[in-house]
């Protein structure tokens, strides 16, 4: 039977503009393993909120045959990487087939469909090249999320950008706005330019979200390699240089998006300041605004805890938090053989392991660390979890270092398998959610939002989203930052000491000596996190401030041009 598509729910009048959302990864629910970290968690929440608000949106991504990777252990408990084939019975295999051009060859593409009723999301299509019509190399384009091979990464960008655009040519649904969630799908811009032959029409059709100031997230690639791979959709390099205004031998993917889209956004107010500093030397950029990231309250929040808060039942709130700790500690015992106590203060560091997030900052001064973790009067338990990129050996080394250190302590552990299921357990069971990025390096950092929705108290460097939320010692604890102008080593030393001081002098004593005060901070945190950090606000803002704005701006530009020709 031929696959036909019409938008599967009646969309709200305010959100009737058809928007196609392009993202390399989606963290929607544990069974669908198409994500690496925060970008995916954000996209998953966006798709859930688009469904809740009944927005006329369709997501497009890639069906990664081996997902990102499965995090497993070697025999000595250090980390290992497993690529295991994923099979999803709940996806609908469509009969849609078309070709894209990669490195001068036709590559066949098909699409799988995730209907809204499966996980309560906007409809999502997932592209795959894993077809018998393709040779092995072509099949591998959709095998591994963020493949370490640069040519495979470029091919994946072509698949998402060009393949996504071509998909909509086969559906009975035409987007008026294309939303690039990060710069991975930049070939879409060249595909549209090849169609329209008009840069203003491209700008009127595409908006862009940048999620990171980190170099790894703002790729630069040699023009010759991109041309060879077909990244520019047959547009001559001289023309590409003209429209992107690139002057040297590399294409900056983020800068290209900022020049070819109609409007862009950073993902927190602080991130916008960082972006303005980063791109200040460059001309001809589109307007850039802040739309702060958020997480889907319906999915992430502990609704039982919220009932206790609504009833002003602090004893019930405490009992629900302790039950969350018991559930988490079952997983800790299963993975590590350590039995934790739900009455003991539990600190969790749970996020993607990468250098600037400083997973090992707690271990900076082992003498001070030992005085905290070896205390019998006011004990603590510490849990680390997170997935480095599978080829990021520096971050894997940090993970393994922490594993080896925690073997010496019965109240410190490292968990593997940091995906949605474990993330929920950790947020539900944490007393303290620790976040210590190097200042200005965290664009948003959404894990703390969902943690607050589960009664965990954020203890964080004031970076990313956190300054928009934090009321120090009222709904969270702010770690005093060092000056960003100092060397990394000096920053680490100052901020590690500030963290130890905060734990020893305020956080640990308050937890044990002033439990009512502790519960009031939990209550304030749970109330202050909504509605602003619920992704329904974010999804609404994208329509109001990006999609509709871009259409209006483009229409005004067309009218202006029309008047000038009369």
Whether the pLDDT of residue 213 is over 90: the answer is: no
Q: Give the pLDDT mean for 277-303.
A: 96
Q: Which of 34-43, 206-215, 446-455 has the lowest mean pLDDT?
A: 206-215
First to last CA, the chain: 52
| Structure confidence at residue 413 (pLDDT) | 98
Quick check: 183 and 257 in contact, CB under 8 A?
yes
Whether the pLDDT of residue 216 is over 80: the answer is: no
Half-sphere exposure of 405 (CA within 13 A, CB side): 20
Going by pLDDT thresholds of 50, 70 and 90, the confidence category of residue 566 is low
Q: Give the pLDDT mean for 195-206.
A: 96
Whether the pLDDT of residue 1 is over 60: the answer is: no
Whether the pLDDT of residue 215 is over 70: the answer is: no
Burial letters 215-248, b for 16+ CB under 10 A, else e: eebbbebebeebbebbbbbebeeeebeebbebee
* Percent of the chain residues past pLDDT 70, beyond the cut: 99
Q: What is the pTM of this model?
A: 0.96
Going by pLDDT thresholds of 50, 70 and 90, the confidence category of residue 122 is very high
| Structure confidence at residue 245 (pLDDT) | 95
pLDDT tens-digit readout, 139-181: 999 999 999 999 999 999 999 999 999 999 999 899 999 999 9
DSSP code per residue over 72-140: EE-TTS-EEEE------TTSEEEEEEEEEEETTEEEEEEEEEE-HHHHT-S-EEEEE---TTS-HHHHG
| Structure confidence at residue 29 (pLDDT) | 98
pLDDT tens-digit readout, 393-414: 999 999 999 999 999 999 999 9
- Identify the DSSP state of 378: S
| Structure confidence at residue 350 (pLDDT) | 97
Among residues 415, 432, 412, 431, which one has the least CA distance to residue 370? Answer: 412
Quick check: 34 and 67 in contact, CB under 8 A?
yes
Beta strands 92-102 and 105-114 are antiparallel
Phi, psi (5° rounding) for residue 96? -70, 130
Q: Give the pLDDT mean for 336-359.
A: 96
Q: Give the pLDDT mean for 40-55.
A: 98
Mean pLDDT, the chain, whole residue set:
96
Half-sphere exposure of 154 (CA within 13 A, CB side): 21
Cα–chain-centroid distance for residue 265? 15
Going by pLDDT thresholds of 50, 70 and 90, the confidence category of residue 557 is confident
Whether the pLDDT of residue 36 is over 70: the answer is: yes
Query: Helices 38-52 and 420-429, interaxial angle, to 10°?
Result: 90
Distance CA 444, CA 211 (A): 8
Going by pLDDT thresholds of 50, 70 and 90, the confidence category of residue 562 is low
- Integer CA distances (angstroms), 513 to 62, 324, 371, 521, in order: 51, 22, 19, 14
pLDDT tens-digit readout, 489-525: 999 999 999 999 999 999 999 999 999 999 999 999 9
pLDDT tens-digit readout, 441-488: 899 989 999 999 999 999 999 999 999 999 999 999 999 999 878 999
* Matching residue, tokens 């100052």: 494
| Structure confidence at residue 217 (pLDDT) | 63
Going by pLDDT thresholds of 50, 70 and 90, the confidence category of residue 384 is very high
Length of the chain: 566
The structural domains of the chain, ordered by start, are: 19-295+536-559 (3.40.50.2000), 297-533 (3.40.50.2000)
């Amino acid at each position: 039977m031929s696959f036909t598509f019409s938008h599967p729910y009646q969309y709200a009048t305010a959100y009737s503009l058809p928007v196609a959302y392009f993202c390399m990864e989606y963290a929607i629910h544990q069974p669908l393993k198409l994500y690496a970290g925060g970008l995916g968690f954000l996209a998953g929440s966006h798709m859930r909120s688009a469904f809740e608000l009944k927005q006329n949106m369709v997501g497009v991504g890639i069906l990664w045959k081996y997902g990102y990777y499965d995090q497993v252990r070697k025999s000595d408990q250090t980390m290992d990487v497993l690529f295991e084939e994923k099979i999803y019975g709940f996806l609908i295999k469509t009969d849609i087939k078309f070709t894209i051009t990669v490195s001068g060859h036709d590559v066949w593409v098909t699409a799988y469909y995730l209907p809204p009723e499966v996980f309560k999301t906007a409809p999502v299509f997932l592209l795959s090249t894993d077809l018998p019509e393709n040779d092995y190399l072509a099949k591998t384009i959709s095998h591994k999320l963020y493949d370490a091979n640069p040519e495979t990464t470029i091919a994946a960008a072509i698949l998402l950008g060009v393949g996504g655009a071509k998909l909509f040519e086969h559906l009975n649904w035409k987007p008026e706005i294309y939303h690039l969630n990060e710069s991975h799908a930049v070939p879409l811009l060249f595909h549209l330019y090849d169609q329209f032959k008009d840069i203003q029409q491209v700008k009127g059709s595409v908006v862009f979200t940048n999620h990171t100031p980190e170099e790894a997230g703002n790729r630069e690639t040699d023009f010759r390699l991109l041309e060879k791979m077909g990244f520019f959709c047959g547009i001559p390099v001289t023309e590409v240089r003209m429209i992107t205004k690139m002057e040297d031998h590399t294409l900056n993917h983020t800068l290209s998006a900022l020049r070819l889209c109609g409007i862009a956004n950073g993902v927190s107010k602080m991130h916008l300041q960082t972006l303005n500093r980063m791109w200040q030397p460059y001309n001809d950029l589109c307007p850039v605004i802040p739309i702060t990231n958020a997480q889907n309250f319906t999915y992430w929040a502990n609704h039982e805890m919220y009932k206790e808060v609504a009833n002003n039942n602090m004893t019930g709130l405490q009992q629900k938090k302790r039950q969350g700790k018991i559930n988490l500690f079952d997983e800790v015992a299963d993975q590590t053989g350590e039995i934790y106590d739900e009455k003991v203060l539990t600190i969790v560091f749970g996020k993607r392991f990468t250098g600037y997030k400083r997973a090992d900052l707690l271990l900076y001064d082992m003498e001070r660390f030992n005085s905290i973790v070896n205390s019998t009067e006011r004990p603590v338990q510490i849990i680390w979890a997170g997935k480095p990129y599978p080829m990021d050996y520096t971050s894997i080394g940090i993970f393994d270092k922490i594993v080896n250190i925690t073997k010496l302590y019965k109240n410190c552990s490292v968990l593997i398998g940091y995906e949605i299921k474990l993330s929920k357990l950790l947020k539900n069971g944490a007393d303290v959610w620790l976040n210590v990025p190097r200042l200005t390096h965290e664009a948003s950092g959404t894990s703390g939002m969902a943690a607050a929705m589960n009664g965990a108290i954020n203890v964080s460097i004031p970076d990313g989203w956190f300054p928009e939320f934090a009321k120090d010692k009222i709904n969270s604890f702010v770690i005093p930052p060092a000056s960003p102008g100092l060397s990394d080593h000096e920053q680490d030393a100052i901020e590690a000491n500030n963290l130890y001081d905060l734990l020893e002098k305020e956080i640990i004593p308050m937890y044990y000596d002033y439990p009512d005060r502790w519960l009031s901070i939990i209550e304030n945190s749970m109330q202050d996190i909504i509605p602003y950090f619920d992704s329904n606000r974010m999804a609404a803002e994208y329509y109001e401030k990006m999609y509709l704005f871009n259409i209006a701006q483009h229409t005004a530009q067309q009218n202006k041009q029309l008047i000038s020709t009369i």
